[in-house]
Structure 1
Amino acid sequence: MKEKSLLQLKRFWLPVLFVIVVAVAIAIYIYKSSSLVFVPGYEGLDGLVKIYKVPLGVLSLLFPLVALIATSHRSEQTKKQIEMSYLQNSFSNFYKHLEEFDKLVNKSNDFGLREFNPFDLYKILFPLNSPSNVITCSHGKDKGAVSKLNEIATKLVDKVSLINEFKGDYNKLEVVYIDFFVLLINASIELSFIPRPNNAVRWVKFKGFDVSFPLFTTSLKPFLHYDLLSNYINQLSGFGMISVEMPELNIDEKKNILAQSVLIDVTVRS
């Protein structure tokens, strides 16, 4: 919508006309209630000014009043220009941020992932972002909430720490492994880290579970999926400017063999 000039605004003319009407009304009152005699020359003009000094004083209020209205109008125009500039910058920054995120996600092809819509993952990591508002740090759905990426990473870190510290009791470790791989699958689904079929991918399920899922895993590297997902999370956290450091798994031969027994190979399929 086209901006109106100062002279087109009602809030300019209403106070101006009010002052003029008041001044004219006072002048008429003076004229009607006084016995004025015409006196030519300087003395007449001087007397006229003295007689009508009140309505003239009222009219003089127009100058500061107009200046005040003009200043207010300029301030509003400046505010609107700043808001428009902010919206334009936010719009540009949003799509630039999304473009850079898309480039980062496209690098996930190096991992051999199934195709997915990068915007779906973007909304998980930056749920409050929009063309009118851009927050470059990954965040939660509510203001001040922890990022979903941080939540996922924290759960994985806690479970990995437990596995790394576990010694001796492999019966309990088997249960921890099942919890770990279920958590790994949930994290992969939420972050769209689902592999395409290749030589390092197996459809697996766990003891006591009917659900199967594709994981990066081989007979020699049952935890390959975690290693790759950790790298993926580190890349996302770097883009989202959050501090996430995924630990390495300390796996001895017995732990490795136990993990292979927990993961039941279903079939290779596309």
Structure 2
Amino acid sequence: MRSNKVLIKTVAFWVAFLLPLISASVLALLMAYYGDVRFAKPTPDNILFAYEFLKIPLILASLVFPAVAIVTSNHRSAQTLEQIVITHRQNTFSNYYSHRKAFFELLDSLEKDLSIKFYDKNKLYSGLFPNNSTLNVEVRLNSDEAEIDVNRLAGRLAEKVISFSKLMNKMETRIMSDSVISSGDSISVLNLYSTVNSVSNSLYFETESEQKLDLIQGGLNFKVAYEESRPLIHLDSAVTVLEVLCQFCHRNMPVVPDFNTNNKAFMISLDKLLVQQHGLKESADLVAEEEYQVERATNPRYFNE
């Protein structure tokens, strides 16, 4: 690089040094030639005459000092700027790999805690921070440029859970009335599972839970984590992943409300879904619940006494 050269080896230095001297010498020779000046004894009068006669060439020659000073200053500034650029590049390079390392360690921790597997961590990182490289590092997610917007995913999931909760609560209220018998809403449960699966795919993770539900929607198969005591465990995992990623990306996450899986309408709907998808028999509790509702509707007076 030019700024790394020794000063006296630069073209600018020699131009600043020689140009005033050469210009002054040429001018002095021309003035002496056309002024018919001859060499004389160096008496005081002759020296004074020479000084007055060659004042302009001498002034021109003296410009070598400020010219060299300016070149020296510029050279030093260029070296300083070059050092700043090199330091910045080194810091950016180091910060990029430190940021990636912290991100992957975070994913490893989530995998261990939630029994999930991120099957394309590099793609997830690139989707969240598309502009990051060894030359540029951004630690805050840019929604306008990011291929994966965790805020929008969280907002979408929150809206789905809220609408699902309202539906289940409304159905439960009707079930608890004296004359309503509900067969559940398995489609809504399937749609919720499908939304959770879609969020998982967008974040490139899948469950490694021993218990899974194999579901079909629109001719497409997908799997979600499932436990009898926690039928929405996959939803809980997706919410946790979104919360952690939003925090890492320095973004506020929309609140995804908790859902009470003991909701009677949900239990009936989930049971119907399992029957439809897997041909399983309805659970004894739900069969008893339906028989109770039928009896309640048939003999309302008996239950009101």
What is the TM-score of this pair, normalised by structure 1? 0.85
Higher mean C-alpha displacement, 26-35 vs 168-177: 168-177
Equivalent-residue separation in structure 1 for 2:193 and 2:139 (angstroms): 31
Q: Which has the higher contact order (CA 8 A, sep 6+)?
A: 2
Following TM superposition, by how much is the alpha carbon of 1:260 offset from its aligned partner in structure 2, in angstroms?
4.6
Q: Find the partner of 1:195 among 201, 207, 214.
A: 207
Following TM superposition, by how much is the alpha carbon of 1:266 offset from its aligned partner in structure 2, in angstroms?
5.5
Higher helix share: 2
Rg larger in structure:
2
Cα 1:16–1:266 change in 2 (3 A) is: farther
Gaps of at least 5 residues in structure 1 are: none
Higher mean C-alpha displacement, 153-162 vs 244-253: 244-253
Following TM superposition, by how much is the alpha carbon of 1:41 offset from its aligned partner in structure 2, in angstroms?
2.7
Code of the residue aligned with 2:220 in structure 1: it is V
Equivalent-residue separation in structure 2 for 1:192 and 1:228 (angstroms): 13
Cα 1:43–1:245 change in 2 (3 A) is: same
The alignment partner of 2:216 has SS state of strand
Gaps of at least 5 residues in structure 2 are: 172-181, 280-305
The alignment partner of 1:194 has SS state of strand
Q: What are the Cα deviations for residues 35-84 of structure 1, in whole angstroms up to 9, with x where unaligned? A: 22414233222222211111111111111111111111111111111111
RMSD: 2.7
Equivalent-residue separation in structure 2 for 1:56 and 1:174 (angstroms): 101
Question: Which residue matches 1:212?
Answer: 221
Question: Which residue matches 1:230?
Answer: 239
Code of the residue aligned with 2:156 in structure 1: it is K
Equivalent residue pairs, number: 262
Cα 1:197–1:16 change in 2 (3 A) is: same
Q: Contact 2:18–2:64 at 8 Å: present in 1 too?
A: no
Superposed, 1:11-160 pairs within 5 Å as: 11-37=12-38, 38-107=40-109, 108-114=111-117, 116-140=119-143, 142=145, 148-160=149-161
Equivalent-residue separation in structure 2 for 1:8 and 1:195 (angstroms): 65
Following TM superposition, by how much is the alpha carbon of 1:140 offset from its aligned partner in structure 2, in angstroms?
4.1
Question: Which residue matches 2:295?
Answer: none
Q: Contact 2:184–2:272 at 8 Å: present in 1 too?
A: no
Equivalent-residue separation in structure 2 for 1:219 and 1:257 (angstroms): 13
Cα 1:261–1:70 change in 2 (3 A) is: farther
Q: Does 1:184 align with 2:193?
A: no
Code of the residue aligned with 1:221 in structure 2: it is R
Cα 1:7–1:173 change in 2 (3 A) is: farther
Following TM superposition, by how much is the alpha carbon of 1:191 offset from its aligned partner in structure 2, in angstroms?
0.8
Following TM superposition, by how much is the alpha carbon of 1:136 offset from its aligned partner in structure 2, in angstroms?
1.2
Following TM superposition, by how much is the alpha carbon of 1:195 offset from its aligned partner in structure 2, in angstroms?
0.9
The alignment partner of 2:224 has SS state of strand
The alignment partner of 1:130 has SS state of coil
Equivalent-residue separation in structure 1 for 2:272 and 2:14 (angstroms): 86
Equivalent-residue separation in structure 2 for 1:131 and 1:196 (angstroms): 34
What is the TM-score of this pair, normalised by structure 2? 0.76
Q: Contact 1:90–1:132 at 8 Å: present in 2 too?
A: yes
Cα 1:53–1:35 change in 2 (3 A) is: same
Cα 1:60–1:176 change in 2 (3 A) is: farther
Q: Contact 1:138–1:241 at 8 Å: present in 2 too?
A: yes
Equivalent-residue separation in structure 1 for 2:97 and 2:126 (angstroms): 13
